[in-house]
Structure formats: C-alpha cells, structure tokens
Structure 1
Amino acid sequence: MAQHDKNFSKDMFEPAHIDSAKSEEISKPSLNYWQDAWLRVRKNTGALISLVVLLLLTIMAFLGPVISGYDSAAQKASQSNLPPKIQGLENISWLPFDGMLERKNGEVYDVYEQKQVDEYHWFGTDSLGRDIFTRVWKGTQISLYIALLAAVIDMVIGVAYGAISAFYGGKVDNVMQRITEILVGIPNLVIVILMIILLGPGILSITIALTITGWVTMARVVRAQVLKMKNQEFVLASRTLGAKDNRLIWKHLLPNLAGVIIINTMFTIPSAIFFEAFLSFIGLGLQPPLASLGTLIDEGFKVLQLYPTQMIFPGIIISLIMICFNMIADGLRDALDPKMRD
C-alpha cells in the first residue's frame, strides 16, 4: 500500500476544471461550400494530375506554334513525310526522334540526309511538307475552342430552359418538355449534315450542330433539381417575404445548382471534342487549311502503315485531353455532389 500511495496522490483524482467559455470554441476556421469542395478535390490525386496535364496542354496549344517557328499552312514538297527528329535526341537509337525510316527490305536510312534537309521537325512532316508539331497544337486550339464554345452555349441554354420549365410548371412545363422530346428524337448526324448543307463545312456549322440538341441533357438535369428544390422551406420563406420569380431563380435556386451545372458541363466538353473529331474523321468537319485534331488523325490514318507517327501524335493529344476532362469531372462530382461524399 505504501508503494501505491507514493505513485498516486489524491490530487490526481480531483475533477477536471473545464472552462465553459471555451466549450463552444471552433478550433479550425469555418469553411464555405467552395472551400470545402476544394479540399475534397485536393485529396483526389487523379483529378489534380489531370488538371496539371490539361493546363500544360492548353499552354502548349498557344506556345507550341511559336516555339516551332514554322507556319502551320506552309507547304514544302521537298520535305514531305519526314519522320520526327529532335535536337539532342537524334543520337539515341531507341527513341523515335532520330529521323530514320525503315525500308521494306529492312534497311534503315536517314530521310533528312537523303532529302538534304538541315532543319528539325519534332513530330515530322505530312505529305505536303507541313510541320506536324505546329499543326497538332493549332489543331488543339481549334478543338478546344469548339468544345468550350459548345459547352458554354449548352450550359446557358440548358440551365435557363430547364429552370424556367420546372419553376413555372403546368402548361409551360408540358409544352417545353414536348419540344425537348422532339429534339432528342432527331439524330445529331442528321442535324450536322443539314447545317453543312446550309452553311458549308466549318467551325460555325459544327458549333451550331453541337448546340442544337446538346443542351437537352443539361435542361433535363436542371429541371429535375429545380422541381425538387422549389418547394423547400428556404424558397417558400423567400416567396412569403415577397421575393419575385426572377430573384427566386437567380438568387436561391441556381446557386444551389452550381455543383450540378459544373459537373455536367465538364462531362460535356470531352463529348464535344470527340464528336468534332468524329465529324472531321468522316469528312464532315473542318476544311483545309484549317486543321483540328480530328482532321489530323484522319490524314494520319490514311498513311498509318507507312508513317504511323502522323497519326500517333494527334491521337495521343486528343486521348490525353479527353481523359483529363473526364478525370477532373469525376473529381468535381465527388467533391460537389453531397450524395457522393465519403
């Protein structure tokens, strides 16, 4: 007993003193909705890596043509179908940047030396002698421009249409939904062909074709969310206090739909890029001298067996763009959609 008395004093069994003033203190700073969402996005390694890669690709889309020093439309028949060749990497045999090609009999030869070309073409040249590195980044510019423009138009039209349809309901909703059902029943390819016949092939016709029916999905998602929220307490309270319809939609409903709108827009962009590439691949896209990633893939596909790099490089770029957008959209969905939170 004496040993236990030495180790444990009576003071150790006294009740702890708790300061009631500090019992409700918040140890961490309070976060708003967007700050909390950003913390969740930061935990998603795939989304962060995709964001960095997408930023690098976007920067290269504008700096690439400047770095190369070549004009994307300049033709040099004497330099046609050159393989890739990069300074400093040309002496590394296991990399495909040495300017060498293999003949049918298995013999390897230096194409640049044979054609007496002293310049370097990092991604090689096409059948008309145009620098593929420059054309790939010019094509990336156009593909991103068409996709972003179509996505923004889809978002604006879809959000406005869906919110108005759900908010007013009744006959307004019935009429507006019948219109969307008609548009959904029309194949996109038919609309594209009609636009090309009326306006001719080009950026304008592709953009209009993408936006005629592209906003329907956004409108339906927004309509469903507005129908669910318009009878909730915070909306009814604001209406009771005399808020007009415009204020209810723009100040109360749409801010609560921001996460859903952003997620659907992010998923729309890769779909638009793929659709534009598909149109260009089947010959309904942009016409020379304009080039998108789809037209470059189409041109490279025609000479795939002889010069595979002409298709591989634009194929890698468009694949990276689509994967990055989808990964970022997945990360945003997990961060912004309450149902997906851990």
Structure 2
Amino acid sequence: MIACIGAGVIGGGWAAYFLARGHDVTAWDPAPDAGDRLRTIVEAARPALNSLGFPDEAWGGLTVAGSLAEAVADAEFVQESAPEDLDLKRRLLADLAALTGPGTIVASSTSGFPMSDMATLAEDPTRLVVGHPFNPPYLIPLVEVVGGSATSPDVVEAAAAFYRRLGKSVIEMDREVPGFVANRLQEALWREALHMVANGEATVEQIDASITEGPGLRWPVHGPCRTFHLAGGEGGMAHMLDHFGPSLLAPWTRLEAPELTPELRNAMVEGTATDRSFGELVAERDRAVIAIRRAVEGTRSANAGRPGPSGRSWSSDEPPAPTR
C-alpha cells in the first residue's frame, strides 16, 4: 500500500498515478474538504490514464484516512506532497519517519528544498529521499530522485527502482542541487520571459508561440544539449561550440529575476487570461501530451526497437505488475 500525504494538485496527481498502476492508496490531508478535493483530482486524471492503457478495472482502491498515523500505518512507500514551507516539511517528515517502520521509504515531492535541509528534525533521516515529479505527476514521466546527506544510498537506489517499476523516467542524481535539474532549466527560461514582458520586448502570446512553434517541438525528442549538437552539423557539438562560442558572451540573457512590479504582474495575468475553464485547459493539455508521448515512443520503437527512457513503452497496453 502507498500513502499519499497531501491532497493538492501534486499529491492528488500522484494518488491517481499510483491507483492506475494497480496500487491501493491511503491519503491524508488536514484540510476539511481534502477527501472531496482529492477525488475530484483523481477523476479528472482518469480519462488520460484510461487512454494510456490503464482501465478502471485495473485500478487500486482509494481510502482517505482520518489522521496521519492512520494513513501511514500499513504503508510500504510514502509520497509526501505538502506545501513548500520548510518548517512544515521538517516537522511533517520527522513525524513520517517516526510513524513508519524501518522498511518504509518516505519520499518528498518538494520542488526546491534539499533533503539535507528538510530532514533536520527526523530521528531517522536515513529513509528520507526526494522524489520530485513534474506536474501533472500522472502524465509527465520525469521524477528526480536524490537523497540528503543522511539518506542511505540503498534508499536512494530503492526509491529510484520503485518509480521505474511504475513506469517513471528517473534521473537518479549524484548530489543535491538547489531547485533540482529540470526546475533550474525551466526557471532560467521563465525569468527571461518575464524580462521580455517587463521591457516590452515581447508579449506573453509571442513568448509562448516562440516555444510551442519552435524549440519546444524538438525537445520531446532531443534535449537542449543534443539539439545544439545537431546545430553543429556533421561537426556536432565541437563545431557548434567553436563556431558559436563567442556569442555566449553576448548580453542576450539576464539570469537575475526582474522585479515583479504590479505592472509586470498585471501584464502576465492579462496575457494568460482565457474564457476557457481550468478543466478544459487541463483536458487539452493531457490529450496533447499523450499524443506527443505516443508519437515520440513510436519513433523510438521504429529506431531499432529501443524502449523509452524509463526502460519500457510509455503507451504500453499492459501496465506493469504492481509492487505491493
């Protein structure tokens, strides 16, 4: 059984994913409406997961517990997805470490805090590890796994293996990096976008189109490094660096975040305003991501029959056997 602690967007997305993979899930969140909110998130994710080959009859059962202790009493794996508040994370992870047995891994969905900073109050921090997903966890394969200074290396390996068995694409990090890998890259792009809007250099619509109609079409197949390798032609990365290296000194990018003035905030809000509901946008995103994943996996399969980055097909009709 898997325990999901936190029933927000991330915690609910994790719960939906674990359920679809055949696991029973017990969830807990202190909010009085947590159960209803969680079931709403799970039901919203169901069509996408059904489409990926996980029919309703294969799903595990969902239980909403009345207390933290009840939620983790029989848990073999705990996924913590509480708000990004360091003091809260410290207290909660210490409680989770105390309430679970020596064979239970406690993974945090934190998007920025190193485990070394979050585990300071735990009597047994050896079982605490970061399992950082990308939103929505039920659809995006990536999970970044990294331990803290007191985490057992065996726990890091076991957590990575657990996620892989469930079909996730895992980056098992060798060291703690503030913000992790994907978030840092995403944040650099985001800061540059904010600068462009703040300086009147581009609109929100133009910025989004520059990615969806440009480099974003290449990234599902090749990441930024391989993309620039191809930009070097037959000479590859070496030619690209030798030819374009001097331009790296050009003052094109500004990695310092701009001041979030009321004007910039309003421009971003107005630029992303739409008459479509949140649910409609989520459904559109999910359909598109599924189509992209299937298209990319089809290309990989045609290329010498190689599996996806998780070691298995993302769009397989047969889900892996659950690990209970």
Normalised by the shorter chain, which TM-score bucket?
under 0.3
| Bigger fraction of residues in helix | 1
With the length of structure 1 as denominator, give the TM-score of the two structures. Answer: 0.26
- Greater relative contact order, per chain length (Cα 8 Å cut-off, separation 6+): 1
Say which one has the larger Rg.
1
Higher-strand-fraction structure: 2
